Structure 1
């Protein structure tokens, strides 16, 4: 199993960051048939071939994704997509 970890600092505050992460989760739900649930300030998600979590604090967002062996060859592309999405939602 391949793991992707990405962290970003932000100045949105906890609630603003949670709202941004929720918007991303809803997009994943539509695009990838992902399911998600909040546990405190952590959003846990699962979609075909991957599962992970997004930890949100008042100053940072940390994304951790575990890819199945089937998606392992696409790790670089998936990591770029995560980075692009974070840049977009934190802009």
Structure 2
């Protein structure tokens, strides 16, 4: 197993931060066939071999992804793509 942890600072209003988080989730869903749901200010997502959360805090988004064995081989590439997406959507 491999874990990915990304912390992205932002200066968005809560509703803008939630929309940005949803964009990240939509991209993850598209690329990795994940299902997601909101639980307060935490977006939970999963599929076989992958699960994680995207937590919204004031001025910060915290992403945690746990990758199962087969997918963990691609952890570096996944982290790079997700970090880039988070930088773009939370810098608006």
CA distance in 1, matches of 2:32, 2:16: 24
Cα-to-partner distance string for 1:17-46 (whole Å, 9 max, x where unaligned): 111111222232233221000111000001
> TM-score by structure 2 length?
0.89
> TM-score by structure 1 length?
0.90
Matched residue of 2:70: which SS?
A: coil
Matches within 5 A, 1:10-29: 10-29=10-29
> Is 1:50 aligned to residue 50 of structure 2?
yes
| Structure 1: gaps spanning 5 or more residues | none
Matched residue of 2:36: which SS?
A: strand
Matched residue of 1:70: which SS?
A: helix
RMSD: 1.3
Instruction: Kindly report structure 1 stretches of 4+ aligned residues shifted beyond 6 Å.
Output: none
The alpha-carbon deviation at position 57 of structure 1 amounts to 1.4
